[in-house]
Structure 1
Amino acid sequence: MKNFAMIGAAGYIAPRHMKAIKDTGNTLIAAMDPNDSVGIIDSHFPDAAFFTEFERFESYLDSLRRAQADTADYIAICSPNYLHEPHMRFALKSGADAICEKPLVLDPADIDALQAIEGDTGQRVNTILQLRLHPAIIALRDKVAAGGHDKKHEVDLTYITSRGNWYLQSWKGDTRKSGGIATNIGVHFYDMLHFVFGALQDNVVHYTSDTKAAGYLEYEHARVRWFLSIDVTDVPEDVRATGQRTYRSITCDGDEIEFSGGFTDLHTRSYEEILAGRGFGLEDNRVAIDTVTNIRTMTPNGATGDYHPFIKGLL
């Protein structure tokens, strides 16, 4: 049994980590979050110590280490995006491996700094790249690999996940803290595209705003038009008419890739791989982090070149 601590226990994603810790037969010994609305802990680890101040959380883990008690083997990091890097530093320097939610960091240079700390401490950063473990995505990667080295697939990625007015008022609406729409809701898709279609060769941005973004990516084996949004009005009318507020579509050469199912246990699968020493590390994240960083800093080109059809009504 391994001991886990958690930073960011009150957020949306934290329960998936708690479930994964429990499902893999391990225990959560301590959790921290400035927000004290964390009753979800009782469903998994009611005996876990809880702190609303980072300093007290840090002191508690340090006291366990000094007493040679049951210290944290892993620290799961589910904090806001801009805090991932300092919290991973803390985990490594505390003698624990880190398990960090996406996006790993907001600045690619942080990957290099964290690699240096890994070398100094002997600890490791693991990240949740759950789409790499999805059976449908693995099958697509195998199909692409079998299709020949010279083939370029035509891919359209459309992902609309509606959010209410609260979103832009939270840290997620602050680009300095979240990295913006492409980073916050899209980074795992860009990682998936790199995982399936190989090296990134071109990155063009056609449109960006606080609530949506669109562009073109070319990989070794694919040309990809992409559109991301949190605006419900972007959901196709026929889909909205059924009461749906989300829309996800990935087509490859005109064929829909169906991967709506199979998401339930991907965090548990990720933890299983990490505990077996097969987790995804810092370098695995580099291409996706470079991709979203460039998207964030580029000047949009507008409706030129090979652009996603959903931006026609926006320009």
Structure 2
Amino acid sequence: MKNFALIGAAGYIAPRHMKAIKETGNNLVAAMDKNDSVGVIDSHFPDADFFVEFERFDRHVDLLKRKGTKIDYVAIASPNYLHDSHIRFALRNGAHAICEKPLVLNPWNIDGLKVVEEETGCRVFNILQLRLHPSIIALKEKVTQELKQHPNKVYDIDLTYLTSRGHWFFTSWKGDESKSGGIASNIGVHFYDMLSWIFGSVKHNEVHIKRTDTNAGYLELEHARVRWFLSVHYDYIPEMVKASGQRTYRSITVEGEDIEFSGGFTDLHTLSYQDILSGGGFGLEEARNSIEIVQTIRSAELSTDSENYHDYVAKADQQVST
């Protein structure tokens, strides 16, 4: 049984980390969040110590270590801009870090963390859950086989991810680009990771829409041309999806064929933990491609004359004009 600490215990994704720790037979000994709405801990680890001040959490972890209760892993589900600092905290306390996406906001942060890894001998693992999704694994296997037969093949892909959020989103840290990295980092980074994992490195990256609630653009990968559209705006949700009461719509089409991956997300954190604990996991270099993509999107000038617009771009322009 390994001992875990959790930073960001009041966040949306934190219960999946608690569930994963429990289902892999391990123990959460300490958790921290500046917000105290963390009653969900009782469903998993009612004996875990909890702190709302990082300084007291830091002192507690140090005292545990001095008393012989070593923290083996620190799970990090805090706001994106704090990931780098909290990963460093874990490593310097002799613990491996398991961090939510995006691992960091900028690729040069990865270089800095590699130095701390080498200094401490501890590892950094990123939750890249789509790499463990059965439908995505099947797609990668199919593409790998096809590329063996046709090594110069380039696939046409459309990515649409709409996950509507209320007004709270823009008041929270998630609506602040300096803290979240913007829409592409906050809701799109795992898709960019998945696409570059399957179709290769980036050759060209252009941005067509860059708003607080919507991003769109075009990625040219080694073996794919990707038109993508991401939004937290409810109006873009297809009517048939709205009629069913859903507020999220995911679609990836490869050569016009829809890749079904809407289900199976709730167990992927447990699979990620199992993979890490058995000697696998995705480290710093595995995260690099997606972090470089979102950092480029964040800093790029808009491309206003392109032949590669996603179909939703016209709808987005119409929505703004009205």
TM bucket, shorter chain: over 0.9
The Cα offsets for residues 40-62 of structure 1, whole Å up to 9 and x where unpaired, read as 00000000011110010010110
What are the within-5 Å matches in structure 2 for residues 154-165 of structure 1? 154-165=156-167
What are the within-5 Å matches in structure 2 for residues 1-315 of structure 1? 1-67=1-67, 69-148=68-147, 149-302=151-304, 304-315=306-317
Q: Report the CA distance between 1:302 and its aligned residue.
A: 2.7
Secondary structure of the structure 1 residue equivalent to 2:293:
helix
Q: Report the CA distance between 1:28 and its aligned residue.
A: 0.1
The Cα offsets for residues 253-290 of structure 1, whole Å up to 9 and x where unpaired, read as 00000011221210000000110110100000000000
Give the paired residue count: 314
Within 2, Cα distance between the matches of 1:314 and 1:163?
16
Within 2, Cα distance between the matches of 1:243 and 1:20?
29
The Cα offsets for residues 173-225 of structure 1, whole Å up to 9 and x where unpaired, read as 00000000000000000000011111111111111100001000011111100
In structure 1, the partner of 2:320 is: none
Within 1, Cα distance between the matches of 2:267 and 2:177?
30
Within 1, Cα distance between the matches of 2:232 and 2:113?
31
The Cα offsets for residues 72-111 of structure 1, whole Å up to 9 and x where unpaired, read as 1000000000000000000000000000000000011110
Q: Report the CA distance between 1:303 and its aligned residue.
A: 5.3
Q: Aligned partner of 1:111: which letter? A: I
Within 1, Cα distance between the matches of 2:79 and 2:209?
25
Q: Report the CA distance between 1:37 and its aligned residue.
A: 0.8
Within 2, Cα distance between the matches of 1:243 and 1:3?
40
Within 1, Cα distance between the matches of 2:79 and 2:197?
25
Q: Report the CA distance between 1:237 and its aligned residue.
A: 2.7
Secondary structure of the structure 1 residue equivalent to 2:229:
strand
Q: Aligned partner of 1:106: which letter? A: L
Secondary structure of the structure 2 residue equivalent to 1:228:
strand
Within 2, Cα distance between the matches of 1:239 and 1:265?
23
CA contact (8 A) 1:127 1:280 kept: yes
Secondary structure of the structure 2 residue equivalent to 1:118:
helix
Within 2, Cα distance between the matches of 1:206 and 1:218?
14
Q: Report the CA distance between 1:116 and its aligned residue.
A: 0.3
Q: Aligned partner of 2:261: which letter? A: F
Within 2, Cα distance between the matches of 1:117 and 1:243?
47
Secondary structure of the structure 2 residue equivalent to 1:147:
helix
Within 1, Cα distance between the matches of 2:296 and 2:128?
20
TM-score using structure 2 length: 0.96
Q: Aligned partner of 2:132: which letter? A: L
TM-score using structure 1 length: 0.98
Within 1, Cα distance between the matches of 2:241 and 2:266?
23
Unmatched 5+ stretches in structure 2: 318-322
Unmatched 5+ stretches in structure 1: none
Within 1, Cα distance between the matches of 2:305 and 2:50?
50
CA contact (8 A) 1:29 1:47 kept: yes
Secondary structure of the structure 1 residue equivalent to 2:58:
helix
Q: Aligned partner of 1:44: which letter? A: H
The Cα offsets for residues 154-183 of structure 1, whole Å up to 9 and x where unpaired, read as 100000000000000000000000000000
CA contact (8 A) 1:303 1:311 kept: no
Greater Cα offset, 237-246 or 121-130:
237-246
